[in-house]
Chain A
């Protein structure tokens, strides 16, 4: 059972370059999330997708775009990378979807992370 798979695990970009972080889950989950983790800041939500075909901004969306390609896949794109985007990025998924309150107490499952450095 693979769970949540992120690629790549490590990436170094030059300022201004673009790239896409890939995430796929095989648990038939409805919602998917992208977080960034920075020292002393915890995890901050960038974007999320409550269900296939929908995406919404989180706490720190500027400089990012996302695509919910299908139920399994949720990608995060940096169009023009900046040093401030140096971080560890985590994708997560949850069976929770839309307004299904009965799933509010279900946990999210996380990928192993992508360590991105922008120089």
Chain B
């Protein structure tokens, strides 16, 4: 079974500073990894996904994530934070248990706070 750990339930950065949101995963099969963002009172939307084509993945709104198999990590970064980046961020892994797709397993989420 797969699992995801997000370090830090809340991360606070200043506007213009580097954003780093951490995600570690465990999976018994080659992982398919995703980052989703949730703005207040909305559903989740995809930021980016790892598809094995490249270890550095670029997403929307200037975010990117690097897949590191040796560290079982898929951390999300953005060079310069903007006030509009304030949201909840979820890392997720797609599972397969041999009996069919198990859907996405989510981390507990990281609330990103941007200080002016």
Size category of the binding interface on chain A = 20 to 34
Stretch at the interface among B12-20, B68-76, B77-85, B97-105: B97-105
Given contacts A31-B103, A107-B46, A41 and B96 within 8 Å (CB-CB): no
A105–B107 CB distance below 8 A: no
Stretch at the interface among A63-71, A75-83, A92-100: A92-100
Separation of A35 and B36 alpha carbons in the complex (Å) = 14
Residue B90 at the chain A interface, CB threshold 8 Å: yes
Residues 1-47 of A at the B interface (beta carbon under 8 Å)? 4, 31, 33, 35, 40-45
A105–B43 CB distance below 8 A: no
Separation of A111 and B50 alpha carbons in the complex (Å) = 22
Cross-interface CB contact of A111 among B43, B96, B107, B109, cutoff 8 Å: B43
Cβ of B109: which chain A residues have Cβ within 8 Å of it?
42
Size category of the binding interface on chain B = 20 to 34
Q: How far is the CB of A57 from chain B (nearest CB, A)?
A: 11
Given contacts A56-B100, A101-B96, A43 and B90 within 8 Å (CB-CB): yes
Cβ of A107: which chain B residues have Cβ within 8 Å of it?
34, 46, 49
A98–B44 CB distance below 8 A: no
Residue A74 at the chain B interface, CB threshold 8 Å: no
Interface on chain B toward A: helix, strand, loop, or mixed SS? strand
Given contacts A40-B108, A41-B108, A105 and B45 within 8 Å (CB-CB): no
B94–A112 CB distance below 8 A: no
Q: How far is the CB of A39 from chain B (nearest CB, A)?
A: 9
Cβ of B34: which chain A residues have Cβ within 8 Å of it?
107
9 A-B residue pairs with Cβ-Cβ distance under 8 Å, sorted by A, are A43-B90, A44-B106, A45-B105, A101-B96, A104-B101, A105-B49, A108-B103, A108-B104, A111-B43
Q: A33-B103, A110-B36 are in contact. List 14 more A-B contacts (CB 8 A).
A: A35-B106, A42-B90, A43-B90, A43-B106, A48-B102, A48-B103, A58-B103, A90-B43, A92-B103, A94-B101, A98-B101, A105-B49, A110-B45, A112-B43
- 3 smallest A-B Cβ distances: which pairs? A110-B43, A42-B108, A43-B106
B residues bordering A, Cβ < 8 Å?
6, 9, 32, 34, 36, 41-46, 49-52, 90, 94, 96, 100-109
